[in-house]
Amino acid sequence: MAEKLKNKVTDEELKIRATSDEKITVKLTNNYAFQKIFKNAKIVKGFLMALLNLKEYEIKKIEISDPFTLGENNEEKEGILDIKLVLNQNRKINIEMQNTYQDDWTERSLFYNCRMFTDGFQKGHPYGELPPCIHVGILNFNQMISPNYYHKFYLMDEKTKEIYSRKFQFHMLELKKLKYAKEKQQRKPLYQWAKLIAAQTWEELEQESKGNKYMERALEEMIKISQDEMERYLYLREEMAESDRVSQMQSAKRIGRKEGKKEGEILKLITQVQKKIARGDSLEKIADDLIEDETVIKPIYQLVQGNPNKTEDDIYQMLNLL
């Protein structure tokens, strides 16, 4: 009963904030705002043009499979937001925004794309009719070792790089790596979209959207969210839910540090640190890239630097002796 009362009070506080004169900065990393904006066909059209290098006239039709509904909730997806659409009555596209680190992100994206690839396929039809499927992951954490913020994956031959199929694609935007983008990358529309999604202030939002009619439309919708009482409440509710998820993860990390990491996790961390040291990365950058405290990375970093020819297993054994 006490827990329910506590939740009720918290909800009342959110409603008071929503109806107050408090200036709220709407961020697209908020799942509610992201869903509201990217389920708008006119706005997502601009994003797809940048992502897939398409001209405006090449996009004939966008069908949103699950149109936006005010107040819809995605708690059962643990913060992952699905935006499913069909482009030009052919290509299926699934866009997901993920704020918190997921160990199984690769497997999750494979699962979503495989399910989308076979969805609706009828027995007796030729396999050639299966449409191209594109999974787009927008991540507010670091997933790949490469410093690039944008990654595009196909099925291809490992040695010759010959493409096996373009019907199964994965696109990934890592928002934490935007600061490493080179000047040439910064001139591309996709970089502007990524910066808009990562923006933390109204000034940044205005700066990134200026001159692009699709982004300007997105900014207009974000301003509407900040001015409407119900929209503000739903935005703040999702903000609080995200804070709770982050708090739970931090608690789990603290427990994990107390109980000790599993051998496989530590070996993986050692391998990642070895690769980054070989590339010349500093301790601070490695900790930032791997989303780990420097106190966790430092002993591994020192052992790898002092023993460059040792394997990850050797470093692991040495680590256990510290």
Q: Mind giving me the DSSP string for 202-227?
A: HHHHHHHHTT-HHHHHHHHHHHHHHH
What is the biggest distance separating any 2 CA atoms in the chain, rounded to whole angstroms? 64
Q: What is the pLDDT at residue 242?
A: 80
The domain in which residue 205 lies consists of 2-248
Query: Residue 124 is encoded by which pair of tokens?
Result: 């007796």
Indicate if 177 and 75 belong to the same structural domain.
Answer: yes
Q: What is the pLDDT at residue 9?
A: 43
Q: What is the CA radius of gyration of the chain?
A: 22
Task: Please check whether residue 23 lies inside any domain of the structure.
Answer: yes
Indicate if 226 and 274 belong to the same structural domain.
Answer: no
Task: Please check whether residue 253 lies inside any domain of the structure.
Answer: no
Task: Please check whether residue 223 lies inside any domain of the structure.
Answer: yes
Contact 155, 165 (CB under 8 A): yes
Indicate if 164 and 286 belong to the same structural domain.
Answer: no
Backbone angles phi, psi at 25, to 5 degrees: -85, 115
Task: Please check whether residue 65 lies inside any domain of the structure.
Answer: yes
Contact 98, 139 (CB under 8 A): yes
Among 248, 276, 307, give the residue marking a domain's end: 248
DSSP output for 166-212: EEEEEEEEEGGGGGG--HHHHTSHHHHHHHHHH--SHHHHHHHHTT-
pTM here is 0.72
Indicate if 85 and 228 belong to the same structural domain.
Answer: yes
Indicate if 172 and 211 belong to the same structural domain.
Answer: yes
Task: Please check whether residue 113 lies inside any domain of the structure.
Answer: yes
Give 265-272's long-range contacts (Cβ < 8 A, gap of 24+): 266/316, 266/319, 267/312, 267/313, 267/316, 269/296, 269/297, 269/300, 270/300, 270/304, 270/312, 270/315, 270/316, 270/319, 271/312, 272/145
Indicate if 156 and 200 belong to the same structural domain.
Answer: yes
Task: Please check whether residue 255 lies inside any domain of the structure.
Answer: no
Q: Which residues on neighbouring strands pair with residue 92, listed in sequence order?
A: 86, 133
Q: What is the pLDDT at residue 260?
A: 54
Indicate if 104 and 7 belong to the same structural domain.
Answer: yes
Contact 26, 235 (CB under 8 A): yes
Burial class of residue 148 in the structure, from the number of CB atoms within 10 Å of its CB (0-12 exposed, 13-18 middle, 19+ buried): middle
Indicate if 30 and 83 belong to the same structural domain.
Answer: yes
Strand order in the sheet with 91-98: 62-64, 81-87, 91-98, 133-139, 163-174, 150-156
pLDDT tens-place string over residues 61-119 = 999 877 666 655 544 443 344 788 899 988 999 999 998 888 889 999 999 999 999 88
The rounded distance, in Å, linking the Cα atoms of 48 and 77 is 24
Q: What is the pLDDT at residue 314?
A: 83
HSE-up of residue 70 (Cα within 13 Å, Cβ side): 7
Among 248, 269, 298, give the residue marking a domain's end: 248
Indicate if 170 and 135 belong to the same structural domain.
Answer: yes
Residue 173: name the closest of 196, 190, 157 by CA.
Answer: 190
Indicate if 51 and 109 belong to the same structural domain.
Answer: yes
Q: What is the pLDDT at residue 66?
A: 73
Contact 137, 109 (CB under 8 A): yes
Burial class of residue 137 in the structure, from the number of CB atoms within 10 Å of its CB (0-12 exposed, 13-18 middle, 19+ buried): buried
**Low-confidence residues of the chain: pLDDT under 50:** 1-9, 74-81, 255, 258-259
Indicate if 200 and 274 belong to the same structural domain.
Answer: no
Indicate if 182 and 265 belong to the same structural domain.
Answer: no
Q: How many domains does the structure of the chain reveal? A: 2
Q: Please provide the average confidence, as pLDDT, over all residues in the chain.
A: 86
Q: What is the pLDDT at residue 75?
A: 44
Among 195, 217, 248, give the residue marking a domain's end: 248
